[in-house]
Amino acid sequence: MTYQTINPYTNELIKTYPFATDDELEATLNKAHQAFENAKKQPIAERGKILHAVAANIRKHGDELVRMCSTEMGKKVGEAKGELEITAMIADWYADNAEELLKPTPVKTSFPGEAEVLHQAMGIVMAVEPWNAPFYQVMRPFAPAFMLGNTMILKHASNTPGTAQMLCDVINEAGVPEGSLTNMFLTYDQVNKAINDPRVRGVTLTGSASAGAIVAAEAGKAIKPSTLELGGMDPFVVLADANMDDVNKVAPDARLQNAGQICIAAKRFIVMDSVYDEFMDSLIDYFSKVKPGDPLDPSTTFAPLCTKAAKEKVLGQIDEAIKAGATVAYQYPEIDLPGQFVRPIILTDVKPGNPAYDNEIFGPVALVFKVHSEEEAIELANDSPYGLGGSVWSADPDHGARVAAQIDTGSVYVNNTTSSMPELPFGGVKTSGYGNELGRDGLLVFSAEKLVMKSARSL
Ligand code: NAP
């Protein structure tokens, strides 16, 4: 693994970044610990003001951040702008709401006296984050950690080092005290070293299940709490009474956004037989009309994958799926461009036992399943090792919500694709991980929950 900026549209190697040294890691741990100690004396309202300044500075530097992100991992500029805005919104939301949400929680008790639970900072959080939403993935753990008084060391993905550093510089430039957030080009061994350092009190990873298992095992051995935000195989369930205009408008991009590299993308379309043909015609029509091109060109509607390795992995998974019996219902023609493009493809007849049935494909690959009853739709939606998000489509939202309640994932949206907002808890179940981020959950996930039992006299 090397920290490198390689433009996945031109394949040009732009910059290589040296690994951090162990001395630099030690110095960062010292600074982060000192910042945590200092934050104990700082009123939370002051941190709120700083976090608003962070949001403003992110917006001010929007163009350069977006350009760096699109150049490094191939995200279309429009999508990168949208991601940057939600990143700033997360900072603003925690700045406005954390103080209220962190007030001590009273507890009714038969023990004589008054009980309350304080929500207090723990120390340094070691954050390991992925490239596919390189701004949002930093702010999601950082904003709540900062408001609480925790500090964070960031190990971002090796293919987005420029974006990671630029974003952290913009955040720090806004007045965040030194040591509160430090981006480091760490090796995996150094991540383990940090996890085992007593000043580090929590570990968070967003990424693949395989990386999550390794990092969480290390955290477990060191007896540190961890959160894992991992992959998904989100179902997009189209019921017989769905408003098909809405479905057909939204479904293709629910799969193709970010060239299919979104954890909460619709990876399995589960469609009732009565609307299946209409759904397929519309999906194929959209897939056949995308315009591959430079992610920096606003007229591009379809971008390359993030790296050569990502492309090779997805192509291998498509081959495996077809060999195991999947039918190619549609495949986009050859793309005569140098970048890491994978042609959008729609697969049907993906049965249990086919690797594509269980394994997330992080690319422009839609799996479509025809079902004959709601029970079958729910059973299929739940027949996955993953449980991140999902959506249900019905003209009657209450009907949709009844189906949603039976789907075993961390979130289900009725008549909208799975999404993320600062105030809405975000997390998965099963192989998609544990420990919610965002909303109040995101504040409490790395808080020390301390009971104070106040009595006038002893028993
Ligand atoms: P990945 O390989 O697991 O990488 C994610 C991060 O983990 C990177 O910073 C990576 O560093 C690091 N990493 C990998 N192995 C490590 C180890 N042994 N020790 C320490 N760090 C390690 O993930 P990916 O495949 O690039 O990312 C896509 C996955 O993330 C998909 O499965 C997607 O669904 C998931 N995801 C989930 C969410 C969510 O919120 N649930 C959000 C976005 C993405 P290097 O780059 O240096 O290898």
What's the pLDDT tens digit per position in 424-433? 999 999 999 9
Closest residue by Cα to residue 239 from 364, 387, 402: 402
Is the CB of residue 210 less than 8 Å from the CB of residue 187?
Answer: no
How much is the mean pLDDT over the chain?
A: 98
pLDDT, tens only, 173-190: 999 999 999 999 999 999
Per-residue confidence at 216, pLDDT binned at 50, 70, 90? very high
pLDDT tens digits, residue range 45-83? 999 999 999 999 999 999 999 999 999 999 999 999 999
- Residue 3 in this model has a pLDDT that exceeds 90: yes
CA distance 45 to 181: 19
Report field, pTM of the whole predicted structure over 0.95: yes
263: its two tokens: 């954890």
**DSSP-assigned states of every residue in 238-263:** E-TT--HHHHHHHHHHHHHGGGG--T
What percentage of the chain exceeds 90 in pLDDT? 99
Host H or E run for residue 268: strand 268-272
Place 459 in a pLDDT band, splitting at 50, 70 and 90.
confident
- Answer yes or no: 168 catalytic: no
pLDDT digits (tens, 9 = 90+) for 217-269: 999 999 999 999 999 999 999 999 999 999 999 999 999 999 999 999 999 99
Work out the burial of residue 372: count CB atoms within 10 Å of its CB; fewer than 13 is exposed, 13-18 middle, 19 or more buried.
exposed
Beta strands (DSSP E) in 84-130 are: 105-107, 114-120, 124-128
d(CA 328, CA 347): 5
pLDDT, average across residues 318-345: 98
* Cβ–ligand 1 contact at 197 (below 6 Å): no
Cβ–ligand 1 contact at 4 (below 6 Å): no
- Flag whether pLDDT at 42 surpasses 90: yes
Check pocket membership of 389 for ligand 1, CB cut-off 6 A.
no
Among residues 118, 124, 143, which one has the least CA distance to residue 201?
124
Mutate to test the pocket of ligand 1, among 128, 215, 437 (most ligand atoms within 8 A of CB): 128
Residue located nearest, by CA, to atom 16 of ligand 1: 211
pLDDT at 317: 98
Quote the ligand 1 centre to 156 CA distance (angstroms): 9
Query: What share of the chain in percent tops pLDDT 70?
Result: 100
CA-CA distance, 249 to 286, in Å (whole number)? 9
Which residues lie below 8 Å from residue 269, measured CB to CB, with a gap of 6+? 236, 238, 251, 255, 279, 283, 366, 367, 368, 369
CB distance 156 to 134 below 8 Å: yes
Q: If you measure from the C-alpha of residue 298 to the centroid of ligand 1, how many angstroms do you get, rounded to a whole number?
A: 28
Q: Which atom of ligand 1 is nearest to the CA of 433?
A: 41
Q: How many Å lie between the centroid of ligand 1 and the Cα of residue 263?
A: 11
Q: Work out whether strand 391-393 and strand 413-414 pair parallel, antiparallel, or are unpaired.
A: parallel
Could you confirm whether 263 is annotated as catalytic? Answer: yes
The model's pLDDT over 279-288, given as tens digits with 9 standing for 90+, comes to 999 999 999 9
Give me ligand 1 centre to Cα 159, in Å.
Answer: 11
What average pLDDT does range 108-124 have in this prediction?
Answer: 97
* Predicted local distance difference test score (pLDDT) of residue 373: 98
